[in-house]
Structure 1
């Protein structure tokens, strides 16, 4: 009889797909029983994202581990008003395909692990009598807010930014409304409706797997376990398994950014890097450049430009358009601007890096903590404003940066024709 398989259903974003795959690989290589992995793949929305996913799959298929990838059929994209709304609706449309794929597997299904945007598929696991777990790729603090949101919806009748005082998220210091994630800032938006929905359905899962360490968020995990985040509802079982970080094998030739860092003094360089979705317009890039030049400090700036027409992700930066005249020449002895993707983990591991200006995505946060690099978070979108608050006020591992979130770019298309 074939070994049981654990079925993973990630979404395609880099911050979702890779951590879930890494957690699955740990399960099958370090667990006490023989297991395989089956990964169900929802077709990504653009060719650019699909190419990134395909490249990652090829690397995993060459690893020699017992991992099978099953590509689900495409569906007609739903109407939507934001990325979070789009993903949640698209996943819901895939329910018949997920049910069919799981029913046709030759191996018995030991568990079904879904991304936190996929709670509509808990109905499929119930129909198939398969234990279901939510893989939560953000912090336990964000999970606490998700779980608390259905009751907050009843307790706070106005928009959060209109309420008096702070938001009560058990286990965290009082949260200023200005530090809440973008998707919950407008109660009339589908994003908010979906977040309340997902937060309510989390409690139905057999467990929630979180990419965090118990030592990092003890009070939050205790609050969840005690039921303080889910009044009147059974508290979900939470499994903190982090930090889940994927390390690439060493290569003979280091990346150019790494080689440059190895020529710099210890703790002399600040890294500026804003994740797979962060970019800046020319006026913003000019202001950052002026600040770096005036600071007199060394820097490595991974600068990306706005998405190209028809694409979702940032483009390689046109430095002539984004930077002030003469900036590169004036700072060439102490700074490097890198206009495309860069190996963030390898960069953070270098002794020359003494600080990290980051968008505050959770994967970047745990990588920075792993390598002991202090942060200055500049949140751009998603849950990053909450991460920035907790890094400063709860964990004490970052310095606050004053951000006017109404002026910060948070690019989100309403339809694929607006990409």
Structure 2
């Protein structure tokens, strides 16, 4: 049984490409592993990735791709652009049954040593932990965004106000330029 690492990006080419680069980096240091990339199918239009995957798969057979089937979104799940962050988190939850089946299938032929998930795929931790697969988070966005997310608990402890109530008040995050609280995404995340 081969040792394998599973990578799980959020939908979208930017998330997929950075996960592929992570897979290549892992293989350059640990060529004995196989890398599986599980791709959730977005219920919205994303940049086309089929050609990218086809070319890459031919050149790097140690990395294989598995597409999850599409999921149905609840009515009004995406009524405005402000709903998009919540939709991304909700999508991970909706994909959990298919993800569970896919991980079970992969584990029949490979010893899954790690499951590396995109930040937006937090709900998939329920699946990997139920299967006793060590899980790690990968933040595919820039360091500025990571600095803000990591500092969020400190912001939360320092005020009783919501970000919406803070409106034009400047947030001061170490390693990031100050910005108005109203520029943060809506926090109604599933």
TM-score, normalised with respect to structure 2:
0.83
Matched, 1:89 2:87: no
Distance 1:115 1:126 in 2: 16
Distance 1:33 1:110 in 2: 14
| Partner-residue secondary structure (3-state), 1:39 | strand
Report the count of equivalent residues.
Answer: 180
Matched, 1:100 2:106: no
Distance 2:63 2:30 in 1: 17
CA contact 2:43–2:70 (8 Å) conserved in 1: no
Distance 1:90 1:97 in 2: 12
Which structure is richer in relative contact order (CA contacts within 8 A, separation 6 or more)? Answer: 2
| Partner-residue secondary structure (3-state), 1:4 | strand
| 1:172 to partner: Cα distance | 4.0
The 1:32–1:9 alpha-carbon spacing in structure 2 relative to 1, beyond 3 Å, is closer
CA contact 2:23–2:63 (8 Å) conserved in 1: no
Considering only aligned residues, what root-mean-square deviation do their CA atoms show, in Å?
A: 2.3
| 1:117 to partner: Cα distance | 0.5
Aligned partner of 1:40 in structure 2 is 38
Distance 1:77 1:22 in 2: 30
Distance 1:7 1:169 in 2: 33
Between structures 1 and 2, the one with greater helix share: 2
Distance 2:96 2:126 in 1: 9
Distance 1:152 1:91 in 2: 26
Distance 2:141 2:40 in 1: 20
Alignment counterpart, residue 160 of structure 1, candidates 158, 163, 166? 166
Deviations 1:122-168 (A, max 9, x none): 122211111111111122332121122234234330433243xx323
Larger radius of gyration: 1
Alignment counterpart, residue 60 of structure 1, candidates 53, 56, 71? 56
Alignment counterpart, residue 147 of structure 1, candidates 146, 150, 160? 150
CA contact 1:110–1:131 (8 Å) conserved in 2: yes
Distance 2:86 2:128 in 1: 22
Gaps of 5+ in 1: 184-190, 198-419
| 1:65 to partner: Cα distance | 2.8
| 1:193 to partner: Cα distance | 3.2
Distance 2:142 2:62 in 1: 29
| 1:121 to partner: Cα distance | 1.2
CA contact 2:9–2:16 (8 Å) conserved in 1: yes
CA contact 2:118–2:137 (8 Å) conserved in 1: yes
Alignment counterpart, residue 188 of structure 2, candidates 185, 193, 215? 193
Distance 1:142 1:23 in 2: 19
Deviations 1:274-314 (A, max 9, x none): xxxxxxxxxxxxxxxxxxxxxxxxxxxxxxxxxxxxxxxxx
